[in-house]
Structure 1
Amino acid sequence: MSAGTPERTPTPGQPRRASVPEFGHGMVVGKFYPPHAGHHALIAAAAARCATVTVVVAPSRRESIPLDLRLDWLREVHADTPWVRFVGRYDDHPVDYADPAIWDAHCVVFREAVGPGPVDAVFSSEAYGAELAHRFDAVPVAVDPDRRTVPVSGTAVRADPAGSWRFLSPPVRAWFVRRVVVVGAESTGTTTMAAALAAHYGTSWVPEYGRELTAHKLARLRERSPGASVFDVRWDSDDFRAVVREQQAAEDAAARSSGPLLICDTDARATAVWEERYLGSASPQVRAAARRPALYLLTDDRGVPFDDDGLRDGEHLRSWMTERFRAELAGSGVPVVELTGSHTARLARAVEACDALLAAGWSLADPIATPHTN
């Protein structure tokens, strides 16, 4: 299983409606669990041939991805076709294509979602599309039923999101991505480790914004006092809130284009430790911003020489900070792997932990069983 950044996701392109659309109102129905490139191609096909399209997103409540998220993802990807609307309804009815009463129950859900008025065409990649069209007195339009144009299915994505990564749009990738956060005291190799892991997996990593802010504050200070050093830089609570805000914004942006692993050099929980160091305590806002990544990697200070690069001022506090990180992470509810020894040994241990994370896969509830789940 690869964690690398894959080839660019197939997209539906910029579909244009025919000057005289073939159909007035088209309908697409599915679970979109999760939305993938095959779904987008299906919707684009309907958009190109219809004056208006209603996409009914109809999962059961047992599924793991919230309905509202699926709607948001689909609307983002298809924002260039405003004549396509997305409507969500939960559909917890059992599935039995041979039972007319169950068909009736599903169609009540779909009809309520679509609203009054005729449906002229039903677009589907599933075998049930013809029967669904019949029940709406509409023309059935099959789109890539053999999955030859876009070889993916919801079942395949749920079974192995990493293996289907190239078929996922940026917002869906961001939801699935496993975030690995590297933390540690000054000059213990967090940045080196984050970059090395990203290179190993061919994926993205998010640099530490606090370091960028330190450099900016020092540069501003030197405009007034050329001889100033990092020991003259002052911090306040607003600075640490800004660090959390900017760090999380960068992380969220990177998650949309990352491979299945996203490597992060620090996070809000680590920022709380830094705020405690400089101000004596961490603010409630910084603590409240803490997220739950998939894995923490803690770089031990032992055996790592202190490299004074002009932006560091805590050589005497490294052991204390390592202990503070250790205590902070112990209460996070997130697995923690400590990295010790040489860089080679640390990287090998980090890769082992990340490989195990990927091998564990993703746990998604099965949908209500169907012969062909989409």
Structure 2
Amino acid sequence: MTGGAGEAAGVPTGDGAGRPVPEFRHGLVVGKFYPPHAGHHALIAAAAARCAAVTVVVAPSRRESIPLPDRVAWLREVHVATPWVRVVGRYDDHPVDYADPAIWDLHCAVFREALGGQPVDAVFSSEAYGAELARRFDAVPVCVDLDRRTVPVSGTAVRADPVGHWRWLSPPVRAWLVRRVVVVGAESTGTTTMAEALAAHYGTTWVPEYGREVTARKLAELRRRRPAATVFDVTWDRADFAEVVREQQAAEDAAARVSGPLLFCDTDVRATSIWEERYLGSASAQVRAAARRPALYLLTDHEGVPFADDGLRDGEHLRTWMTGRFRAELAGCGVPVLELRGPHETRLATAVAACDALLAAGWSFADPLLPS
């Protein structure tokens, strides 16, 4: 399922790294982690500081809309520096009723199964039910920041307003939630200028076009052999486009982990497939298969935009064709597309309005099971 290697092993007595003798042998932390946030991490860190071993049980219902394996992986990543913290996942679809002993028994059976039969002597919680949970495990209850004064955030608050609570989210959670806005267009139509301007407007990051780096590298290699070579002498093959896809997406994924709620990308795989079509006559199945679905495409029209020859551009005569290809390609991709026309200021205002609408639409989370 979602348990890690060694899930069935016994509780360790220490980490062998010179830690002081812990106060507790085995601590338990239980929650939905929907999604994990800084308060959860503080709770787990508090348990790790006082226990020889900690088991974190991620126990959502199947109705929730963040996959259980993702939550487990995110928690493991954040707490990798404390290897005595073990994170396991189990679905818990039982109703929630803190006044019903029989329902308590059902939940505790899920937790005990996740523990693999290992006893616990401390239950760490930031919820009012922590004391009863500890009693049922014959363990010491340890309450951590119950009133949320140290870390003023909750899963409910994050789901209601991810933007307002963005600072409390770890890099992998940010990457999962971030809305990606991709700027595409023919050569010298302002895609880079627009991506950079939008990032500046929202105080976030943007992802440059990796294909341009490959073009510069290829031209430099040519000029070492033929000093008079120009960009028109550069040639491309299928492996080049596979590299562009791989590196472009790697850069995008890295940026998503440190981005604000919006991430701006200068090109993507769909755009790369059009460039591959231009240079090689067709787009490969490998490139097309790597396409993702961002939240929004911004297409920069070529009309009224002078062609700026910077030494790495060779397609002034193809700009009309390429704009048409972008329109056709994006029309059937299932992602909203907004064309940007007019001077830069007009284009930027149009793009900002669309991005503001993305943020205003919010994020959709399925409701968790709530107390009856």
TM-score (ref. length: structure 2): 0.95
Q: Deviations over 1:222-252 (max 9, x none)?
A: 0000000000000011111100000000000
Provide the secondary structure at the position in 2 that maps to 1:254.
helix
- Cross-structure match for 1:121: 122
1:266 is displaced (CA, Å) by: 0.1
Which residue identity is paired with 2:196? A
- Cross-structure match for 1:21: 22
Q: How does 1:198-217 map to 2 (within 5 A)?
A: 198-217=199-218
- Cross-structure match for 1:302: 303
- Cross-structure match for 1:291: 292
- Cross-structure match for 1:243: 244
- Cross-structure match for 2:105: 104
Q: How does 1:166-315 map to 2 (within 5 A)?
A: 166-315=167-316
Provide the secondary structure at the position in 2 that maps to 1:163.
coil
Task: Name the CA distance, whole Å, in 1 between partners of 2:228 and 2:22.
Answer: 71
Task: Name the CA distance, whole Å, in 2 between partners of 1:158 and 1:17.
Answer: 40
- Cross-structure match for 1:36: 37
Task: Name the CA distance, whole Å, in 2 between partners of 1:370 and 1:170.
Answer: 31
Say if 2:63 is the partner of 1:62. yes
Task: Name the CA distance, whole Å, in 2 between partners of 1:281 and 1:347.
Answer: 33
- Cross-structure match for 1:3: none
Unaligned runs of 5+ in 2: 1-16
TM-score (ref. length: structure 1): 0.94
- Cross-structure match for 1:13: none
Task: Name the CA distance, whole Å, in 1 between partners of 2:195 and 2:174.
Answer: 20
Task: Name the CA distance, whole Å, in 2 between partners of 1:306 and 1:231.
Answer: 16
Task: Name the CA distance, whole Å, in 2 between partners of 1:258 and 1:117.
Answer: 40
Moved more, 224-233 or 108-117: 108-117
Provide the secondary structure at the position in 1 that maps to 2:164.
helix
Flag as ranges the 4+ runs of structure 1 deviating above 2 A: none
Would you say the 8 A contact 1:17–1:51 is kept in 2? no
1:273 is displaced (CA, Å) by: 0.5
- Cross-structure match for 1:335: 336
1:48 is displaced (CA, Å) by: 0.4
Task: Name the CA distance, whole Å, in 2 between partners of 1:277 and 1:364.
Answer: 41
Q: Deviations over 1:282-329 (max 9, x none)?
A: 000000000000000000000101101110000010010000000100
Q: Report which structure shows greater RCO (CA 8 Å, sep ≥6).
A: 1
Provide the secondary structure at the position in 1 that maps to 2:165.
helix
Unaligned runs of 5+ in 1: 1-15
Task: Name the CA distance, whole Å, in 1 between partners of 2:40 and 2:26.
Answer: 18
Which residue identity is paired with 2:154? S
1:17 is displaced (CA, Å) by: 8.6
Say if 2:153 is the partner of 1:152. yes
Which residue identity is paired with 1:99? D
Q: Deviations over 1:321-358 (max 9, x none)?
A: 00000010011100000000000000000000000000
Task: Name the CA distance, whole Å, in 2 between partners of 1:166 and 1:18.
Answer: 31
Which residue identity is paired with 1:195? E
Provide the secondary structure at the position in 2 that maps to 1:162.
coil
Would you say the 8 A contact 1:17–1:48 is kept in 2? no
Would you say the 8 A contact 1:17–1:50 is kept in 2? no
1:116 is displaced (CA, Å) by: 1.4
1:18 is displaced (CA, Å) by: 5.3
- Cross-structure match for 2:5: none
- Cross-structure match for 2:322: 321
1:162 is displaced (CA, Å) by: 0.9
1:117 is displaced (CA, Å) by: 2.8
Which residue identity is paired with 1:288? A
Task: Name the CA distance, whole Å, in 2 between partners of 1:286 and 1:73.
Answer: 29
Provide the secondary structure at the position in 1 that maps to 2:106.
helix
- Cross-structure match for 1:355: 356
Provide the secondary structure at the position in 2 that maps to 1:367.
coil
Task: Name the CA distance, whole Å, in 2 between partners of 1:353 and 1:17.
Answer: 55
1:370 is displaced (CA, Å) by: 3.3
CA spacing shift, 1:328–1:17, aligned 2, 3 Å: farther
1:115 is displaced (CA, Å) by: 1.6
Task: Name the CA distance, whole Å, in 1 between partners of 2:364 and 2:328.
Answer: 29
Which residue identity is paired with 1:352? A
User: What is the aligned residue count?
Assistant: 356
Task: Name the CA distance, whole Å, in 2 between partners of 1:304 and 1:116.
Answer: 69
Would you say the 8 A contact 1:17–1:47 is kept in 2? no
Which residue identity is paired with 1:54? T
Task: Name the CA distance, whole Å, in 2 between partners of 1:27 and 1:75.
Answer: 15
Which residue identity is paired with 1:102? I
Which residue identity is paired with 2:165? S
Which residue identity is paired with 1:83? W
- Cross-structure match for 1:76: 77
Provide the secondary structure at the position in 1 that maps to 2:297.
strand
